[in-house]
Structures are given as structure tokens and as C-alpha cells.
Amino acid sequence: MTMLSVSSVPRVLSLFPLALASLVVVGTVRLFLENCSHPEKIICHSSAIEPPLFSSTNFLSNWSQCNIYDGKWVLDNASRPLYKEEDCPYLANQVTCQRNGRPDSLYQNWRWQPNGCTLPRFDARKLLEILRNKRLMFIGDSIQRSQFQSMVCLLQSVIPDGKKSIHRAPSMKIFKAEDFNATVVFYWAPFIVESNSDHAVKHTVHKRLVKLDSIEKHSQHWKGVDVLVFESYVWWMYSPLINATNGTPYIVEEYKVTTAYELALRTWANWIDTNINPQTQKVFFTSSSPTHLWSWEWRTGSDENCFNETYPIEGSYWGSGSSIDIMKTVTDVLHEMKIKVNFLNITQLSEYRKDGHTSVYTERRGKLLTSEQRSNPKTTADCIHWCLPGVPDTWNEILYAHLLHNSYNNF
Ligand SMILES: *[C@@H]1O[C@H](CO)[C@@H](O)[C@H](O)[C@H]1NC(C)=O
Ligand SMILES: *[C@@H]1O[C@H](CO)[C@@H](O)[C@H](O)[C@H]1NC(C)=O
Ligand SMILES: *[C@@H]1O[C@H](CO)[C@@H](O)[C@H](O)[C@H]1NC(C)=O
Ligand SMILES: *[C@@H]1O[C@H](CO)[C@@H](O)[C@H](O)[C@H]1NC(C)=O
Ligand SMILES: *[C@@H]1O[C@H](CO)[C@@H](O)[C@H](O)[C@H]1NC(C)=O
Ligand SMILES: *[C@@H]1O[C@H](CO)[C@@H](O)[C@H](O)[C@H]1NC(C)=O
Ligand SMILES: *[C@@H]1O[C@H](CO)[C@@H](O)[C@H](O)[C@H]1NC(C)=O
């Protein structure tokens, strides 16, 4: 059995275009907008309620009509990046592109501008206040780990030294803001359900085996957590088939990935529906993080990847790496659930960001790419993970907007 680090996933993934090309049809995704008539969205109707902690903002009054996922990237050197790479001590070498030698930095200067409203300005103190005596947990793979790191960087700047800490526990990284008794956790579970890839460092990439009906080993650590953010995608997409078990008797069988994904998601949905108290807990599910592995998809005739890309894609774009079928499975399952799960629909907005990946300015198996490896970007560039500061900061701004909105509803 080959043990590989997470950062080796990109190379493996470059196998999946052929496999997936046939599955992907751009177009018809069912709309799943925020709807204020939902019982948890009372605030949309009752502008009379005075917020307990914060003054009202335009954002909140427009929240109900605004699809925040519909918009464009605008250059905003004045307010972006939200933090400096060198000022955040918690970034892993995998994502510190400037320190790793990336020559351009414009990718840090883009702000997501929805068409019908403006996202609230990220306010670390406000969020820490919302998270006072609470736990926020990100569950998923290395993409999710970067969203965790982004969140920690966004929060840590307002916390003095000695009042913040980060430590590891099995499968977890735990950030604490002492004065607020606020905790932000990353939990490694690349398939959400159990698998043979559950060790955060020593896991097999090639011989994946997923237990579609088993979640207890992980979910025991999610009990009572105030805000849960789930994500799982890229690990499923190695080939169109995946080895899995489902129920008894314990038989390993090859499943179509779309089938396996749905079975796993239903196991998860069932756990959420029976274990979450919607009065005190909030659940989010992040849509797939796009990849930019094949430059011919945005530049006809080219034969490269995200390497050397310094500018977002302009105009409509959807890459074949983002499976519409999986997206539909997620929204269908969420729709059928008893507990309301907020769908963080970050795929489309991140699709434009071919410039945001770590490319060759990253490490692999714990070592920075050598100049020799860098000179061969076609095989070494990582077009799956993102530089920080960067695109995952925007996912957190959106998460922040949701939490701010919820905080008006006694959360
Ligand atoms: C919101 O919910 C109402 C009633 O449930 C429905 O009529 C309306 O179409 C929904 N709007 C959206 C945007 O989903
Ligand atoms: C996600 O957002 C994009 C951009 O607004 C939209 O086109 C798409 O329909 C949304 N998908 C879902 C499932 O809500
Ligand atoms: C933003 O900064 C970049 C590089 O630092 C520069 O090239 C660009 O012209 C600036 N844009 C604006 C609108 O100031
Ligand atoms: C709120 O929405 C209205 C109409 O949709 C728009 O004209 C206005 O600019 C929005 N306000 C903000 C602050 O985005
Ligand atoms: C600190 O936060 C935890 C949740 O993370 C909570 O269980 C505990 O009661 C809090 N402590 C105090 C003193 O409020
Ligand atoms: C499933 O496992 C068998 C036995 O190890 C292996 O031969 C096969 O290639 C695996 N299938 C996939 C899709 O990985
Ligand atoms: C990358 O960009 C640099 C500077 O624009 C250029 O010299 C080089 O040829 C480009 N490399 C590739 C592989 O496109």
C-alpha cells in the first residue's frame, strides 16, 4: 500500500478529465436560494426586531432579495487582502505562495461583489463575539483545511499574543481565542463518512475504500458543536468508480462515484437530522472547490494548466472538473432534510479564479518544490489548492455573512 501525502492528490487527479468529461453537462442546476419564509429566517420579515449586539446594516436588509453567489470579482487594492501572508503565523507552507516565491500578488486583491447587494465587511471582533463560548468546526479534506486556516488568520489579528493558541489532537487542529472562549476546529474526514484515508497524514490515495454507512467514528466528535461546516468532493473524483462497503454483510464492491457519494451523503444527512438541535446549532455544506487543471478549457488551443495564470477568467465559465451531478445530489439531499442546512454555493464564484491556485509555489510531501520541479509545471503545478490570502477568504466572508444574519435570530 502506498502512503502518500495530501499534496500528491493533484497528480493523481490529473487522471480524472477523461473519466469525467462525459458526466459533466453545464447548465441545469436547480436553484436553491435563501428563502425568508423558512421558519429560521424570521428576521427577513420582521425588521422591527432590534439586533442584540450589532447595528443594522444594508447587507442585512437586502439579504432576502440578494443572491450573494451571483456577482463578479472586482479589484480592490484598498481593502484586499484582508490580512497579510506574513502576519499570520498559522498558515501552512502549502499555501504561503509569496514566501514560496510566487512573483505576482494581484490574486490577493480581488473582492467578490454580488450583483444585488454587498457582503458585510468582515469584522473579526464581531465574529468572535458571535462565537463567544462556542465552537466552529470545519470538517473535510485539505481544501477545507485551507478554509480553516483562512478563518484562523482572519480572526487572529485582533487577538493579542498569549490569548490565542493552536494545537493538534488526533484528526483535529484546534484554535482557541481565550478571552472569548471561542474555538475553531478543523476535523480531517475527506469522505465525511469513514474511509481508509482517515489518518490526517498517513493515508492511501490509490487504494481508496469508503464505508458508506459508517459515520459514528467521526460524528462522535461533532456532537454539540455550535457551527458545523462540511465539505467533501475532490477525494471522490479519482475515477468514475470507487471501492466501498455499505451495510452488512461487509462486502467491498465497486460503486459509481455518483451513487457512492449519494449513499454517503444520506448517511450524513440521517446523522444530522437525528443529532442536531436547530435552536442551538447551525450546519453548513460547502459546494465543490473547482480545479483548473486544463488550460484549454478557458484558452482554446493551449495545453497547460493554472501555472502562470495571474488574472481571473472574465465572462461565464464552468470547468469540467466540477461535477453538476454531484452538485445536484447535494442540493437534492439538503432539500429533503428535516434540519435546515445552509448551502455555501462557492463553486461558480471560485471557477473564475484560475489565478488563485498554489501552482508550483507550494510543497509536496513536506518539501518545497525544487527549481527543477518548478521548471516542469505541466506535471508539478497544484491547480487544486489555493494560495492564502486568497479565494478561501471569500468563502469565509460568505460564512460570516450567514452567521451575522443568524445572530439576529438569537443564535
Ligand atoms: C419561498 O417560499 C415560498 C413559500 O414556501 C415560495 O412560494 C417561493 O417560491 C420561495 N421562493 C424562493 C426564491 O425559493
Ligand atoms: C450557485 O450559484 C450560481 C451563481 O449564482 C447559480 O448559477 C447556481 O444555480 C447556484 N447553484 C445552486 C445549486 O444553488
Ligand atoms: C492594484 O495593485 C496592482 C498590483 O499591486 C496594480 O497592478 C493595479 O494597477 C492596482 N489597481 C488599482 C485599481 O489600484
Ligand atoms: C439593496 O437592493 C436594492 C434593490 O435590489 C439596490 O438598489 C440597493 O443598492 C441594495 N443596497 C445595497 C446596500 O446593496
Ligand atoms: C466555553 O465554551 C465551551 C464550548 O466551546 C462551553 O462548553 C463552556 O461552557 C464555555 N465556558 C464558559 C465558562 O462559558
Ligand atoms: C477495487 O479494489 C480492487 C481490489 O483491490 C482493485 O483491483 C480495483 O482496481 C479497485 N477499484 C477501484 C475503482 O479502485
Ligand atoms: C510564464 O510567464 C513568463 C513571464 O510572462 C514567461 O516568460 C514564461 O514563458 C511563461 N511560461 C509558460 C510555461 O507559459
pLDDT of residue 81: 97
CA–CA dist 309, 354 (Å, integer): 6
Residue 204, ligand 6, Cβ within 6 A: no
Which contacts (CB < 8 Å, 24+ apart) does range 252-257 have? 252/209, 255/212, 257/326
pLDDT of residue 37: 31
Which contacts (CB < 8 Å, 24+ apart) does range 148-151 have? 148/173, 148/175, 148/184, 148/185, 148/186, 149/88, 149/90, 149/91, 149/92, 149/95, 149/186, 149/388, 149/392, 150/388, 150/389, 150/390, 150/392, 150/393, 150/395, 150/396, 151/184, 151/396, 151/399
Q: Which atom of ligand 3 is nearest to the CA of 75?
A: 13
The residue among 288, 319, 323 whose CA lies nearest residue 305 is 319
Residue 37, ligand 5, Cβ within 6 A: no
**Cell numbers for 104:** 505576482
The string of pLDDT tens digits covering residues 79-110 is: 999 999 999 999 999 999 999 999 999 999 99
- The DSSP call for residue 280 is T
pLDDT of residue 12: 37
pLDDT of residue 50: 31
Q: Which segments of the chain have a pLDDT < 50? A: 1-56
**Residue 87 Cα to ligand 6 middle (Å):** 45
pTM (two decimals) = 0.84
**Residue 287 Cα to ligand 2 middle (Å):** 10
pLDDT of residue 71: 95
The string of pLDDT tens digits covering residues 337-359 is: 999 999 999 999 999 999 999 99
pLDDT of residue 398: 96
Angle ∠(52,55,60) on CA atoms, nearest 5:
100
Q: What residues are labeled active site?
A: 142, 382, 385
E strand or H helix at 270, and its extent?
helix 257-275
Residue 254 Rama label (left phi>0; alpha psi -120 to 50; beta): beta
Q: Name the phi and psi angles at 384, rounded to 5.
A: -115, -50
Angle ∠(237,242,243) on CA atoms, nearest 5:
150
Cα-based distances in Å from 222 to 67, 75, 270, 271: 30, 38, 14, 10
Cα end-to-end span (Å), the chain: 46
**Cell numbers for 145:** 483545511
The residue among 286, 359, 373 whose CA lies nearest residue 95 is 359
Tell me the β-bridge partners of 253.
244
Q: Which atom of ligand 1 is nearest to the CA of 37?
A: 2
Residue 8, ligand 3, Cβ within 6 A: no
The residue among 98, 89, 83, 179 whose CA lies nearest residue 396 is 83
Pocket test for ligand 3, best of 73, 74, 75 (most atoms within 8 A of CB): 75
Cα 309 to chain centroid, rounded: 22
**Residue 35 Cα to ligand 1 middle (Å):** 6
What is the sign of the dihedral through the CA atoms of 68, 288, 223 and 273? positive
Tell me, what amino acid is at 98? Q
Are the C-beta atoms of 383 and 305 separated by less than 8 Å?
yes
